[in-house]
Amino acid sequence: MSKLVICKSCGKEVAKGSKCPSCGKDQRNFFMKHKVVTVIIALFIIVGIGSSGNKDSTASTSSTKNANTASVSTPAKPTVPTEYTSALAKAETYGNTMSMSKAGIYDQLTSENGEKFSPKSAQYAVDNAKIDYNANALKKAQEYQKTMSMSPSAVYDQLISENGEKFTPSEAQYAKDNLK
């Protein structure tokens, strides 16, 4: 299936991309003879095109930004660090799936045996999580009442205990008042 070409040196017919059987002249072009060099040159070209494209877009972006800031002064939205958003996601998971208290979530987020978040990111998380702590206290109270046959007063004590659920007294009272 190879095509025949005329040898550039002796004029005989030879297969394209091979050496001439008569004179031994290599019929391949420069790029086929030097594949490694060809790959290196191609990479330089690609990198050169890529970096020159970035410089142009960066320059146009910065000039656009400068033009925009001159005409309209809008405050930039503060960016929240990734650690804070990760802690927030974990806090909402704990609060919404495990019915934990605010203090319990904070302790879990900062625990060396737990999530190991910084105190600042854990505080951000518990302050910004969308969790109904009264509802969580009530769910925990119902679990204690059902599974451990505890009295409402004992449930209340367990909900506010530092060694227990760590709900606030008002959350625990809400739960106690709404037990059936």
**CATH of region 82-177:** 1.10.10.10
Which residue, among 179, 95, 100, has the nearest Cα to 138 in the 3D structure?
A: 179
Per the model's pLDDT, the better-predicted residue between 56 and 178 turns out to be 178
- Name residue 131's amino acid: I
Could you say which DSSP state residue 74 is in?
A: -
Instruction: Report the predicted TM-score, pTM, of the whole model to 2 decimal places.
Output: 0.56
Residue with tokens 């959350």, as numbered in its chain = 171
Per-residue pLDDT tens for 55-93? 544 444 444 455 455 555 666 667 888 999 999 999 999
Burial letters for 153-180: b for 16+ Cβ neighbours within 10 Å, e otherwise?
eebbebbbeeebbbbbeebbbbbbeeee
- CA 103 – CA 172 distance, rounded (Å): 13
